[in-house]
Chain A
Amino acid sequence: GIQVEQSPPDLILQEGANSTLRCNFSDSVNNLQWFHQNPWGQLINLFYIPSGTKQNGRLSATTVATERYSLLYISSSQTTDSGVYFCLPYNQGGKLIFGQGTELSVKP
């Protein structure tokens, strides 16, 4: 299966700061998703992004499939952004392997 590495593993921000989370993967993929797991445990899909750049409010994501990485940008962070961010790159027929996640804590 695809190997996934996310960095940094932990991040502490002051409210209002910006951040970039990275996801490296070991194989070519058909698609990639970013998820946010909130402090209550819910996994929320943020982006489907096999390539290119997408934006949704204060969040945006970029995947460079040829170089096997994806970035998640969080601008003007808020306390509600706290939680764990996972990326899930996948291709047809492979096992579905999540990264270990980046745990983000936004302080007021």
Chain B
Amino acid sequence: DSGVTQTPKHLITATGQRVTLRCSPRSGDLSVYWYQQSLDQGLQFLIQYYNGEERAKGNILERFSAQQFPDLHSELNLSSLELGDSALYFCASSVGVTGGYTFGSGTRLTVV
């Protein structure tokens, strides 16, 4: 157990729907990062939060949004889902903003 908890582990949903992925960082870590891993794109950085505020943005679609709450857990919201959004979504956490990163076990999203 890495200490980073992601729920749910698996999610199957239909196109056009909206889902929320949840991440609880390791105790003491203030930064949360979201990554998307699809078969043809590798590990893509989506967004980073530090202590509740957005810190860096990567290749995150406008249909996706995220936030970090006062208790430091984070949620990634994916809306108007398309088949191409099927992927493994990872959350990572770190103490500060320059690593080291610990990853959760991921949420496998399948859009049908």
* Chain A interface (Cβ < 8 Å from any Cβ of B): 30-31, 33, 35, 41-45, 48, 86, 88, 90-93, 95-98, 100-101
Contacts and interface: CB of A to CB of B under 8 A. Distances in A.
B105 A42 contact: yes
Contacts of B11: none
Interface of B: 2, 33, 35, 42-43, 45, 48, 56, 58, 88, 90, 97-103, 105-106, 108
Contacts of A101: 42-43
Contacts, number: 55
A43 B98 contact: no
A54 B90 CA distance: 27
A33 B99 contact: yes
Nearest to A99: B42
